[in-house]
Structure 1
């Protein structure tokens, strides 16, 4: 039996931001906000859809975070707290408790703590953790 676990992020794309929902084994974990899709432009776009291996990453600014290292043409992609994509994100993914608009949400720190608790518990069991990102319905990007 391979020790891998997959979280799913379903996205809805908008002009002012990308909203999503992360689930694990069919269970809702949190909502997410990201920048709008802008052809994977560094610091201006959300990352392309796909399957990404998550890894523990230490950054001076954010401390230890969930990192998404293998994004084509991008670096330093993290999952970190933010409540307004256009003001606070440069391509990263921010968990939020409630979506309040396109690319905006609230209680991000609380949602991040919940997501980190799940991912870190899987890592503690020596598991590899993946994030699969997909659009809702027919629209896909990347």
Structure 2
């Protein structure tokens, strides 16, 4: 039977964007930026809090990425590189190394590599990987 591994994303909501931090086994992996909460509106809002199973997804534009397939009323939600939520995200989650403001950060590609290395190693062990999103630090 596959083991379940859960990453926890703790969010803070702002007018200009949603900032968060992803933890695994109590250890900080990276920060995240997302669009502000706008009632789960497609392309305009971050996704709702909850627990999501992560899956590998291949996209023409982004190559192979970590996908979040089972978001109610949404499709093609990914975890991919971006440094400015309002300019570069349409509902996806972007890992960043440092938060620089509401919905902004830097060194996203580096943070994404770190997150992918963790998630892919869990998948290679045969684990199912989940992302639990909740408010708070």
TM-score for both structures, normalised by structure 2 = 0.98
1:135 aligns with 135
Q: Is the 8 A contact 2:2 2:126 kept in 1?
A: no
Q: Aligned residues, how many?
A: 137
- Runs of 5+ unmatched residues, structure 2: none
2:27 aligns with 27
Q: Deviations over 1:6-62 (max 9, x none)?
A: 000000000000000000000000000000000000000000000000000000000
> How far off is 1:136 after superposition?
1.0
SS at match of 1:70: coil
2:57 aligns with 57
- Please give the alpha-carbon distance, in whole angstroms, between the structure 1 residues aligned to 2:58 and 2:99: 27
- Structure 1 runs (4+) deviating above 6 angstroms are none
1:40 aligns with 40
- Please give the alpha-carbon distance, in whole angstroms, between the structure 2 residues aligned to 1:52 and 1:16: 24
SS at match of 2:109: helix
- Runs of 5+ unmatched residues, structure 1: 138-142
TM-score for both structures, normalised by structure 1 = 0.95
SS at match of 2:110: helix
1:106 aligns with 106
- Please give the alpha-carbon distance, in whole angstroms, between the structure 2 residues aligned to 1:133 and 1:127: 19
Are 2:119 and 1:119 aligned?
yes
- Please give the alpha-carbon distance, in whole angstroms, between the structure 2 residues aligned to 1:64 and 1:125: 19
Q: Deviations over 1:80-107 (max 9, x none)?
A: 0000000000000000000000000000
